[in-house]
Amino acid sequence: MSRSQKALICVVPALAISLGVFLVNSFNREPSGYVAVYDAVAMWMLSLLVLLVGIVLLVFRRTRFSGWVVAAAAFLIPIVFFVGVKVTEAAGLNRWLNAPLIHFGPDVRHSLIVYYKTGISNTEISDFQDVQLYQGRPDGHGKDFKPGIRTFLRLIPDQAHGHYGFALDLDSGMRPDQRESLISSLSSSPLVFKVYRGVAPNSIPDPAPATPLPGKPVVGYFYREASAVGKSAHPLLH
């Protein structure tokens, strides 16, 4: 066996193990099991991609040895992933495993409901939400909700009297001053039409006819409906 083949045997499995560990860490740090599913899907897609590369290398005689090593690494990734998930679960390192089940949807009462003014663009909405609701992760990979924000539900005009908007659930342990600061920041934005407290989206009465701003296009979002239980309650703010 040549020196390059020995190096290949060391490097490729090490990369596969590192990738599996990275995916386990990402899986455990997700805010909920619904989101963690995407890490599992990513793991299978990467494993399949590595396997396809190995198969291509096996076709040619000069790269056949490399093909076997790469193909073996493709099977190593899911092994490391599932073993890592089990070990970290047993060690209590999973962030969302024992979290209480959260119900959400247009029929469920939420801490805050925000209606945007009509006629604003997708970019304006995206930038606003990035600033108001999210913060970067300490490791620099992706974003998390700001402290105190538990869930986010996007609303389309059919659910918000002609407005785009969103619903938030806030942590019960969030300090009153933090809660009021968030509400004030949302309400004072020139993009926001109205903010409601403690109400289900479907129970909000029509506040006023939604008239688009002149010269502004109407924007759209895709919405995934969530099953839910819950009902309305409380007065509006703003």
Together in a domain, 150 and 69: no
Together in a domain, 142 and 231: yes
Together in a domain, 177 and 210: yes
Query: How far is 198 from 234, CA to CA, in rounded Å?
Result: 5
Residue 1 structure tokens: 């066996």
Domain of 122, in residue numbers: 110-237
Look at residue 99 and tell me if it is in a domain.
no
Lowest mean pLDDT among 1-10, 72-81, 109-118, 207-216: 207-216
Band (pLDDT 50/70/90 cuts) for residue 3 is: confident
The domain total for the chain is: 2
pLDDT in tens, 77-125: 999 999 999 999 888 888 777 666 566 667 788 899 999 998 889 899 9
Look at residue 82 and tell me if it is in a domain.
yes
Look at residue 96 and tell me if it is in a domain.
no
Together in a domain, 31 and 129: no
Check pLDDT > 60 for residue 67. Answer: yes
Look at residue 105 and tell me if it is in a domain.
no
Together in a domain, 75 and 122: no
Together in a domain, 233 and 122: yes
> Among 59, 90, 121, which residue terminates a domain?
90
Together in a domain, 118 and 152: yes
Look at residue 208 and tell me if it is in a domain.
yes
pLDDT at 58: 93
Check pLDDT > 70 for residue 218. Answer: no
pLDDT at 17: 94
Band (pLDDT 50/70/90 cuts) for residue 209 is: low
pLDDT in tens, 178-204: 999 999 999 999 999 999 998 888 888
Look at residue 21 and tell me if it is in a domain.
yes
Residues 6+ apart with CB under 8 A from 214: 119
Together in a domain, 161 and 207: yes
Together in a domain, 83 and 143: no
Together in a domain, 49 and 165: no
Look at residue 101 and tell me if it is in a domain.
no
Task: Tell me how far apart the 2 most distant CA atoms of the chain are, in Å.
Answer: 78
Look at residue 62 and tell me if it is in a domain.
yes
Give CA angle at 145 (143, 150), nearest 5°.
Answer: 145
Together in a domain, 130 and 76: no
The DSSP call for residue 96 is: S
Residue 192 structure tokens: 């926001």
Name 197's bridge partners. Answer: 112
> Among 90, 121, 148, which residue terminates a domain?
90
Query: How far is 103 from 159, CA to CA, in rounded Å?
Result: 17
Residue 89 structure tokens: 């679960």
Residue 176 structure tokens: 């009153």
> Among 90, 120, 154, which residue terminates a domain?
90
pLDDT in tens, 162-184: 899 999 988 888 888 999 999 99
Together in a domain, 23 and 79: yes
